[in-house]
A = this chain, B = another copy of it.
Amino acid sequence: MLKLSKLTDYATVILSYMVKDQTDLHAAQEISKVTGIAQPTVSKILKLLVKARVLTSIRGAKGGYLLARAPERITVASVINAMEGPIALTECSASHKDCGHTSGCEIQGRWELVNQKILNTLESVTLADMVLPVKQPEEVLIPISRLYK
């Protein structure tokens, strides 16, 4: 289905919440309460995001997590990468090394092309884009004549 893992989906829910008060520290437990995702799972996700430098953590009592940088600079690609590892449609897109189809290999280069296109797409969308209201206001076109009334 070419789908993202549930954890990745959760991650975006969590991150969107954190965008709202970017400067605040959020503890795992707090995030769990707000999002309704079980606390151990939330922790797991947060840890992965820290490891990938999407979030920064502060340890100890009164510790918590915050965004590592502005939402405009956190790409969807980086979030997926944090949760699921390198974005690669096929084994071959990741590395030629342990590929089985030695016989059908003419193709390989092409998946890489598709893969690259998708990567570009995912890098063009940021967390900031994700939290925009679902329905963007339609652009209003004003007849030029109105400007002279």
Interface residue A87 (Cβ < 8 Å from any Cβ of B)? yes
User: Which of B76, B84, B87, B133 is in CB contact (< 8 Å) with A106?
Assistant: B133
Interface residue A25 (Cβ < 8 Å from any Cβ of B)? no
CB contacts (< 8 Å) of A13 on chain B: these are: 101, 104, 107
A86 and B1 form a contact (CB under 8 A)? yes
B85 and A106 form a contact (CB under 8 A)? no
A:14-49 near B, CB below 8 Å: 16-17, 34-36
User: Which of B36, B106, B110, B122 is in CB contact (< 8 Å) with A103?
Assistant: B36
Interface size on A, residues (CB 8 A): 46
Given A35-B103, A130-B110, A131-B107, CB of A89 within 8 Å of CB of B121: no
A84 and B1 form a contact (CB under 8 A)? yes
Residues of A within 8 A of B (CB): 1-4, 9, 12-13, 16-17, 34-36, 76, 80, 84-91, 101, 103-104, 106-111, 113-114, 117-118, 121-122, 124-125, 129-135
